[in-house]
Amino acid sequence: MKNPFLAFRSVPVSDEGNPPDRIMADHQSPVQQLLNTYRNLLEGPAKELAWYIDHTSRMNYYKAILKGMEFPQHVKNTLAFAEKVYHHVFEAVQHIPYDVGDIEDLCALMSFSPELSKNELRPAGVYISALVNASRKEHIVLKLPILQHSFNFLGFKLPTGKTLLFEGSAGDFTGAKLCGGFLHVEGPARNWCGIAMEQGEILITKDTGQKTGELMTGGKISVQGSILGIARSRVAGEIYQKGKPVPTQ
Amino acid sequence: MTDNNNDPHRAKVHHIYAYIRDNYYFNRPDLRIKGEEFNAALLFSLLVGLFQGKALIIGEPGLGKTTSVEYMGALLYRLPLGTIWRGEISGHPEQTEEKIIGRPDLGKLSQGKEVVVWSHFSLLPVKIVDEINRLPETKQSLILDGVDRGNWAYLNDAIINREYCLFATANYQDQGTNTIIAPLMDRFDMMVESKHPGANLAGCIGTESPDGAALRHESLENQFKSVLSREDDYEDRMKKVEELSGEFGSYLEENYQLPSFSLAERQAIRSQKDEIRFDVDSHAFLRFITAELSFCYPYGQKRSRESCEEGCHFNGYLCHRIKSCISNRFPMSARSLSQALAWLLGDDHVDLEHLKAVLPYTLAHRIQWKENAVARCEKAMRRDPLEIYMAKEAVEEVHERYMEQGHRIKEALAVACRIAENEAMAPLHGDHPLYWEIRKDLGEEVHPP
């Protein structure tokens, strides 16, 4: 077959290869330690959380069929399991000397790693959120515009006084149970954005998916793009689309 | 437009542009490239005419769509206006193949001989279809092959144009218009709007009488008619047409100091254009945008009858907002027009600026946007018609992405080149559809994100 890349023969190639390959080469790096911790987590509570996240996503796709059904209990279970994993991570990463750059590298590594399946990556956002919240830095920037997988639960339980700026596509449950922090996503977020958030602010510069603001009890969500679906079971809090308030349905 | 140009052909093209701009087609500049300002309709008509392209010129009635290309065709091909007019066809529901392409010679037919009388439209190198969208969809198919390759067939006879350019004009939708069928639409290299010039310039139209007579020559027009109506072989007729064109060119030069081009000069210019190479960024950027307009992870490629899910991982890219797959004619048009623009500006290679300038016009008529994408833009403040505005916004958005990822994309393409030449390397991974396309080309099985 014809080589369709000949026009690029003269472009120099660095010997760094894919970012994950570089990171994997250093077995003692904090990133490698964080990754090992995540793998251990997958043997325990994260495994069940992965199942719940998958199940919740599927339920969302079949929402048309399930019209009229009560808000599924398993969504609440998903949040409960996420909380359990979150507290587990907090303890598990105490001894690892990581910084913000390591969190960014970990995200890229997990996203591109052929060793982690799609299912194993489902709870990864809870892990990343716990790392962000456990970090001493108040303002954290994660620039990840070219991830192969988007992470669920980014900004989970982000506490007051903490700001997370995430550049890239966020997955389901973005900003879930936000506790007063400011989550800024430069990009879109998928379904269940701001679910059960208590206080604080979420800013999404592109679109959000279904059930934005579900079970929200306080705080503010601002979406600069379009909102595919607004929550029906919002208790309190404010949602703005392109600067205009969105009424409760 | 700068006058300072060493190449005599290029200087002549600049002269023609300035002459039409200053005398026949008053309009504001709406395109800035490399510090020079142009009117897009005039500039692209010039490039399409000279480099044998096909242009669709849209706009409200009476804003100079047809007039501008008639003048352009007259000067670029040394054809008097009367001859250009004879070769024009107008789109209306009663139009027939016999009027557009050719008809049987009835006198000969009664003697049992099948001889085709070719229309001036099919013979002349400057082809103008006025109000193409007034042709019913079924009749648009009659000109598909001719528009695409210059092949005109009638009965058992055929002619193949040795050189030709095509301009079609279209008014906005009204009661008498039809939809231009997708295959015909795709055959146009670009689409541009002939805009209103504004109240001040419009006030000047017709007040200073431009020397419109310069492009008329009744005696030569009659000779052209007689040559085109002969029964000679197509090549012989075209030789005679070229001789008459030479006479008309001398007439323009001697009486009005107006430049025009012979066939040999046009061919020389086209060779110069074909030698212009693309830099690495323009190569990569064209692939980058083509990938976004053709890629679909779940279904392998975009297809007009398949729509991707809302939750698709790639929903941040253009592929999520369009209905159908971009055609192979798109990169061909983009390459040809950007080379033409680089040639006109005297540049020795095509760079991102040339490509970015032509892309919206090569995409505007080819992209079928989803309804929600259209709904987001239709009320936006803008100066262009919706299709061109959306194409400009899309190109800008993709360019922004390219500026962020270009370095790594180029590296990924370079690595792919080495892998294709059997070097032991791993392809680079990334989120953009182009990375996935590269991996597919290298025979990798790619898994869903």
pLDDT, tens digit, 9 for 90 and up, residues B45-62: 999 999 999 999 999 999
Residue type, position A64, single letter: A
How many contiguous H segments (helices) and E segments (strands) does chain B have? 20, 13
Is the pLDDT assigned to residue B342 strictly greater than 60? yes
**CA-based nearest distance B358→chain A, Å:** 21
Mutate to test the interface with A, among B413, B425, B438, B440 (most CBs of A within 10 A): B413
Q: Which residues of A touch B426 (CB under 8 A)?
A: 17-18, 21
Is the pLDDT assigned to residue B290 strictly greater than 50? yes
CA B230, CA B120: separation in Å to the nearest integer? 11
B417 interfacial to chain A (CB closer than 8 Å) = yes
**Domain at B4-262: CATH code:** 3.40.50.300
**CA-based nearest distance A171→chain B, Å:** 9
Average pLDDT over residues B423-431: 87
Name the percent of chain B lying above pLDDT 70: 96
Considering chain B, what is the average pLDDT of its residues?
92
Closest residue of chain A to B279, computed from CA coordinates? A7
Q: Which residues of B touch A20 (CB under 8 A)?
A: 429
Closest residue of chain A to B416, computed from CA coordinates? A5
The closest alpha carbon to A156, from A83, A47, A103, A56, belongs to: A83
8 Å CB contact of A146 and B420: no
- Backbone Cα Rg of chain A: 19
Average the pLDDT over each of A108-117, B27-36, B184-193, B355-364 and give the range with the smallest value.
A108-117
Which residue in B417, B418, B449 is closest to A148 by CB distance?
A: B449
A115 interfacial to chain B (CB closer than 8 Å) = no
- How large is the ipTM? 0.87
Indicate yes or no: pTM above 0.80. no
Which residue in B310, B404, B420 is closest to A5 by CB distance?
A: B420
Do residues B12 and B344 lie in contact, with contact meaning Cβ atoms separated by under 8 Å?
Answer: no
CA A165, CA B448: separation in Å to the nearest integer? 26
**Can you spell out the DSSP letters for B55-66?**
EEEE-STTSSHH
Residues in Cβ contact with B173 at an 8 Å cutoff, skipping those fewer than 6 apart: B133
SS3 at position B75? helix
How many C-beta atoms surround the C-beta of residue A142 within 10 A? 23
Beta strands in B119-255, from DSSP E residues, in sequence order: 126-130, 151-154, 157-160, 165-170, 190-193
Mutate to test the interface with A, among B315, B374, B419 (most CBs of A within 10 A): B315
Is the pLDDT assigned to residue B238 strictly greater than 90? yes
Positions in chain A whose pLDDT score sits under 50? 61, 64-65, 67-70
Residue A202 confidence (pLDDT): 96
**CA-based nearest distance A146→chain B, Å:** 5
Residue type, position B389, single letter: Y
Closest residue of chain B to A191, computed from CA coordinates? B311
Residue A28 confidence (pLDDT): 63
Closest residue of chain A to B282, computed from CA coordinates? A7
- Phi first, then psi, for residue B345 (nearest 5°) are -85, 0
Do residues A148 and A128 lie in contact, with contact meaning Cβ atoms separated by under 8 Å?
Answer: no
Residue A65 confidence (pLDDT): 46
pLDDT per residue over A50-91, tens digit each? 777 777 766 654 554 454 444 566 678 888 888 888 888 887
Closest residue of chain A to B311, computed from CA coordinates? A190
A14 interfacial to chain B (CB closer than 8 Å) = yes
Name the DSSP letter for residue B319. Answer: G
**CA-based nearest distance A169→chain B, Å:** 8
Among B residues 255-294, those touching chain A with beta carbons less than 8 Å apart:
278, 280, 283-284
SS3 at position B434? helix
Task: Give B3's pLDDT tier (boundaries 50, 70, 90).
Answer: very low
Do residues A52 and A78 lie in contact, with contact meaning Cβ atoms separated by under 8 Å?
Answer: yes
A61 interfacial to chain B (CB closer than 8 Å) = yes
Among A residues 62-101, those touching chain B with beta carbons less than 8 Å apart:
none
Would you list the domain boundaries of chain B?
4-262, 277-441
Average the pLDDT over each of A77-81, B245-249, B364-368 and give the range with the smallest value.
A77-81
B400 interfacial to chain A (CB closer than 8 Å) = no
- Give how far Cα B213 sits from Cα of A152, A195, B65, B210, B249, Å: 71, 74, 19, 8, 14
Task: Give B285's pLDDT tier (boundaries 50, 70, 90).
Answer: very high
pLDDT per residue over B140-197, tens digit each? 988 888 888 899 999 999 999 999 999 999 999 888 899 999 999 999 999 999 999 9
CA B319, CA B317: separation in Å to the nearest integer? 5
B252 interfacial to chain A (CB closer than 8 Å) = no
CA A101, CA A106: separation in Å to the nearest integer? 9
Residue A162 confidence (pLDDT): 92
Q: Which residues of B touch A10 (CB under 8 A)?
A: 280, 414
Among B residues 335-374, those touching chain A with beta carbons less than 8 Å apart:
372
pLDDT per residue over B198-213, tens digit each? 998 888 887 765 556 7
- Give how far Cα A238 sits from Cα of A217, A225, A235, B161, B218, Å: 9, 16, 10, 66, 76
Do residues A169 and A187 lie in contact, with contact meaning Cβ atoms separated by under 8 Å?
Answer: yes
**CA-based nearest distance A8→chain B, Å:** 5
8 Å CB contact of A9 and B410: no
- Give how far Cα B135 sits from Cα of A169, B120, B127, B169, B372, Å: 46, 19, 16, 12, 30
